[in-house]
Amino acid sequence: TAYDVSLVDDSWPKDLFDIISGNTSNSWERLDAGGILSHSFEIDAKRQGMFHGAPAVITYRVPTKVSLQEAYSTPILPLDILAERPTENKLDWRLLAKYGSQLSVVSIVLLFIYLVATPSKASAAKASKKKR
């Protein structure tokens, strides 16, 4: 069991973010072994850009140690805040849906013409026997 658990997440600079609700820090009297605590707050970005946040600092006391213990939360991935992403050149499924039936008919016709126009191995073998 951990006692006097506190969390401080001060990696959100005031010039880039406004805190809408909640606090960036919180404390709990105790955390039982295997227990889970959660903390959340809402922020609003003031401008566009990449943001690399630091992990939150967690301090706690355990009965077997004299000094306070310190741990860090898992850091968040870099945030691309309010970014306008360029469109990616992926296959446009709308075109495939619109012209897919015509494409399949043309493919079947071309396959049929190819099969009719190319001689089979059996007929090629008969033709070579007739020439002898």
pLDDT tens string 54-94: 899 999 999 888 899 999 988 888 888 776 666 665 666 67
Tell me if 24 sits within 8 A of 9, measured CB to CB.
Answer: yes
Domain locations in the chain?
A: 2-81
For β-strands 57-61 and 25-31, DSSP reports them as: unpaired
Q: To 5 degrees, how large is the angle CA 37–CA 38–CA 40?
A: 160
Tell me if 45 sits within 8 A of 16, measured CB to CB.
Answer: yes
* The token pair that represents 103 in the structure block: 């494409």
Tell me if 36 sits within 8 A of 61, measured CB to CB.
Answer: no
> How does pLDDT run across 22-64, given as a tens digit for each residue?
899 999 999 888 888 888 888 888 888 888 888 999 999 998 8
Residue whose structure tokens are 């006097």: 4
Helix (H) / strand (E) element for 30: namely strand 25-31
